[in-house]
Structure 1
């Protein structure tokens, strides 16, 4: 896969995933404009995440039966419809519908990752996955910064209008520059869903799925809870200053793009184990948020490096093990991601309310240790899905 195509795939992932996370920095503006009570603002974020979860189960498997280039382009256009509906919404329910539609078709991210892997030769697959999945992290973390800046100048509706324009432009570029799907044999939809169900009975898929679950539970614990101690005494940081920690996270995640090359060299298991140890250790620094900010910045960098390294290694292993079911296997793995992220986001606020940031840090470290224990107990991973692991 050429460098230009990798960059295009990474940008598609960044913009698509931003449709889910762009709401987080503008919730206060949305609530004031539409009269949404503070207690109900969480539904604005949840709507997109619920749509995304449904899409993982029902839409991503379509990539194993339909020309993926056309599927990617059509999902980008449909996601744009959702963001336009959100931008024009005059009622809360209409906003929620628009965000749910955008989230539903934001699973184009997983189809794009699977297609990029399929277009790559075995010796460059890890490098490709490293670059493309870096786009996901850029979208998750960069959406907070970009959305906040746009909303400050032109209001929250401009965020979704801009996303719609970008999504439509990317749909054109995908049709213009990505090659048609080379596959000749494609399964029926029922066969694809049945195949997805069978994956949950295979040890390789389940063990890597559980690692993904706890990995992103730890990730969600940080990014859904870090603002709580930073806006409290003794720091009282503004939203803009809290957002600067996202730059450290972005630097760490982009640095982990190198993990794809290590995976190509046959070090998937070593990379996974080492990164999970780093993930657990990062919480020793992040836990200092109530006393010092410099360790927190270093810990955020470490955590996002570790998360991205494990994520790239997981996807490299799974797409190699299941080369004829890349869309289904990536979609299925990301179901674990979605559930883990939701657990982390919910649990960190509860832990903070009861035991402060120390409790949240212990929780994040515990999730990391669970992932490490699963890695240690799974044994040597194999590219043959029918051999024991």
Structure 2
């Protein structure tokens, strides 16, 4: 039953999202140092990044549907605890294979983010659902971008292991807070686990809204991944030669943009989710012009980062609002399947930016990111045109029926 979600509970749930997703991305700013400490060859460093992403993808498929079957409050507590176990293994790892296992475990249970979003959607009143989802998912961006700053500073001072030790403690503390303070998620029993898994495939095959929003998310986060997976490359090179800590501080610009988009949830509550999507995707495409300008000043890059992260978060919140509203009884399964598109898009962006930058430099990487966002915008426009055409066809059928009806009635008389 929907209940009031207080500001303190929104803060707790946003913190859950931030802490969990941080365990996946914290390794990126300290990758080189961690590789040296663990005795890994440079060509093997990518495995440290991939381990968390692979674990996360598997968690989206295998764990998130449990949120439609089990008590979500208990599930959030358990997943946070197990995420802390993975972070602890990583922090104490004596070698590369054990660190990979710890990162994979942390990533696997970091899908507590999606269970948290489903919980918020379930306990929120309909008029506040978008606002609450927007506030809570801002924690995801806070984790992805904020941990870059934290890891950069700790990596330069106390070492990379301190990052994961701190995240483990934070996850355990949040697990206790969730267990003791959040309202229970009371609802009718959900489907069996096998049926919940099968419903993911049916969503892709038969749900037009889900498929369109999933594909938009794929291109959206491919564009997002192109920026944040490749940004360190031009900043560490001539003429800037920035340090890891200095590069991490650019996450502040991303945070400013993403947090500014928290209001997108309220706009979605007012029935403007589709308009927000189109406007934000256009803004995202335009932001790449500023992101590409790194030759003589970094201020245009900072402006581009703010605009890009604002746009990405606005579209992301709007999509989740639409999907959880359309599927209130299986929000966990729907969000998990939707985020699988996010995960694949992020991976594509990471691969694409490295390839483009190596071959042709930062301008080519920016063109790649802009192409991804433009693809999302075109896809949104096509779905809008299709939806309006179908609506118009339905209206014509109703008009034809209303015209024919008196004629038939007259003959019957």
What TM-score do you get using the length of structure 2 for normalisation?
A: 0.91
Match of 1:122 among 104, 123, 126: 126
1:269–1:381: 8 Å Cα contact kept in structure 2? no
| Residues 210/219 of structure 1: CA separation in 2 closer, same or farther (3 Å cut) | same
Provide the secondary structure at the position in 2 that maps to 1:18: helix
- Give the drift of 1:381: 9.6
Alpha-carbon distance between aligned partners in 2 of 1:34 and 1:168, rounded to the nearest angstrom: 26
1:224 equivalent to 2:233? Answer: no
Cα deviation digits, residues 33-75 of structure 1 (max 9, x gap): 1111111111111101100000000100100000000001001
Correspondence for 1:346 among 347, 351, 359:
351
1:185 aligns with 2:192: no
* Paired residues for 1:159-174 under 5 Å: 159-174=163-178
Counterparts of 2:280 and 2:20, CA distance in 1: 27
Q: Structure 1 stretches of 5 or more lacking a match?
A: 383-387
Contact kept in structure 1, 2:152 and 2:244, CA below 8 Å: no
Give secondary structure in 2 for the equivalent of 1:292: coil
**1:157: Cα distance to partner?**
1.4
Q: What's the secondary structure of 2:293's corresponding residue?
A: helix
Tell me the secondary structure at the aligned position of residue 238 of structure 2.
Answer: coil
- CA deviation map 1:99-157 (0-9, x unaligned): 10000000000000110111101100110011000000000001111122223332211
RMSD: 1.4
Equivalent in the alignment of 2:19: 15
Aligned length: 384
Q: TM (normalized to structure 1)?
A: 0.96
Partner Cα distance (1:288, 1:149) in 2:
26
Superposition deviation, residue 30 in structure 1:
1.1
Return the match for 1:360 from 365, 372, 376.
365
Deviation at 1:237, TM superposition (A): 1.8
How far off is 1:163 after superposition? 1.0
Query: Quick one: distance in 1 between partners of 2:41 and 2:73?
Result: 42
Partner of 2:140: 136
2:156 match? 152
Match of 1:293 in 2: 298
Secondary structure of 1:288's counterpart equals: coil
Equivalents in 2 of 1:21, 1:79: separation in Å? 13
* 3-state SS in 1 of match to 2:127: coil
Q: Distance in 2 between matches of 1:62 and 1:278?
A: 36
Superposed CA offset, 1:325-348 (max 9, x none): 100110001000000000000000
The answer on whether the counterparts of 1:204 and 1:381 sit within 8 Å (CA) in structure 2 is no
Show the counterpart of 2:407. none
Counterpart of 2:314 in structure 1 is 309
CA distance in 2, matches of 1:178, 1:280: 39
Which residue does the alignment assign to 2:199? 195
Q: 2:253 aligns with which of 248, 254, 257?
A: 248
2:397 is matched with: none
SS for the counterpart of 1:325 is helix
- Name the CA distance, whole Å, in 1 between partners of 2:124 and 2:225: 31
Superposed displacement of residue 244, structure 1: 2.0
The partner residue of 1:113 within 111, 117, 120 is: 117
Give me the whole-angstrom Cα distance separating, in 2, the residues matched to 1:292 and 1:364: 20
Q: Which residue of 2 aligns with 1:2?
A: 6
Q: Distance in 2 between matches of 1:86 and 1:354?
A: 34
Determine the C-alpha separation between the residues in 1 that align with 2:167 and 2:359. Answer: 38
Q: Which residue of 2 aligns with 1:282?
A: 287
Query: Alpha-carbon deviation of 1:380?
Result: 7.1
Q: Give CA deviations for 1:293-337 in whole Å, capped at 9, x if unaligned.
A: 111110000000000000000000000011111001100010000
Give the Cα separation in 2 of the matches to 1:353 and 1:29: 22
Q: 1:272 is matched with which residue: 245, 253, 277?
A: 277
Query: Structure 2 residue aligned with 1:44, among 45, 48, 53?
Result: 48
Partner of 1:56: 60
When Rg is computed on C-alpha atoms for both structures, the one with the higher figure is 2
**Residue 35, structure 1, aligned to residue 42, structure 2:** no
